[in-house]
Structure 1
Amino acid sequence: MGIVGTCVTVVGVIITGWFTYRGTRTAAAIQAGPAAEQSKFAVLEKTVARVDEENGRLRGRQSRLESLLRACTWTMDLWARQMRDAGIEPEPPHPLVEEYNRTGV
């Protein structure tokens, strides 16, 4: 009977250890969950801030390029009128220039 009791005790200790390990691991995962989510959220916030900053710079550059295009178009139109007034017929504009003059895009 002593050997059977010892075997049962050993098996009980092993099973108890396994359940304790499993419970500890599950508890650690549950506690790490909010911290991991918080970390992911912080990374997402930084990414959104960086993208917003880049978009702001790109919008500024696009606006500047559009202003430059309008200024160049105005200047070339002025030169073409001056050439016509002097009796010189300028070369026809590129089709993309004609499209821009027609649509503004």
Structure 2
Amino acid sequence: MNGWMGIIGTCVTVAGVIVTGWFTYRGTRTAAAIQSGPAAEQSKFTVLEATVTRVDSENKELRTGQRRLESLLRAFAWTTDRWARQMHEAGIEPEPAHPLVDEYNRTGV
């Protein structure tokens, strides 16, 4: 009888160790997830913040270039208009303007 009791005691001990190990594993994994949560969120936020800063910088450069191009287009339109008036005053009939130029002169866009 002592032999059977030893085997049963050993089996109960092994089962207890396995169950304890399983609960320890789950608890450790959950604790790691809870701890890494704020760090992971902070990391995501840092990446997002860097991306927004980069996109803002690129947009500023694009807006500056677009303003410059619009100013150049306006200056070119005024210059060609002045030349066309000078040709009319001198009795020279200029070639008709491209339809896109006519549209720009009508709408400013």
TM-score band, normalised by shorter chain? over 0.9
How far, CA to CA, are the matches of 1:78 and 1:102 in structure 2? 16
Distance 2:105 2:15 in 1: 89
Distance 1:89 1:19 in 2: 94
Residue-by-residue CA offset, 1:18-53 (whole Å, 9 max, x unaligned): 110111011001100000000000000000000001
Q: Deviating runs (4+, > 3 A) in structure 1?
A: none
Counterpart among 22, 25, 43 of residue 29 in structure 2: 25
- Indicate the residue corresponding to 1:7 in structure 2: 11
TM-score, length of structure 1 as denominator length: 0.98
Could you tell me which residue of structure 2 aligns to residue 86 of structure 1? 90
Matching residue within 53, 57, 62 for 1:53: 57
Number of aligned residues: 105
TM-score by length of 2: 0.94
Establish whether residue 65 from structure 1 lines up as the match of residue 69 from structure 2: yes
Q: Looking at both structures, which has the greater relative contact order when contacts are Cα pairs under 8 Å and sequence separation is at least 6?
A: 2
User: How far apart in 2 are the matches of 1:19 and 1:46?
Assistant: 40
Structure 1 unaligned residues grouped into runs of 5+:
none
- The one-letter code matched in structure 1 to 2:58 is E
Q: Percent identity?
A: 80
Alpha-carbon RMSD:
0.6
Structure 1 or 2, whichever has the larger Rg, is 2
Q: CA deviation at 1:98?
A: 0.4
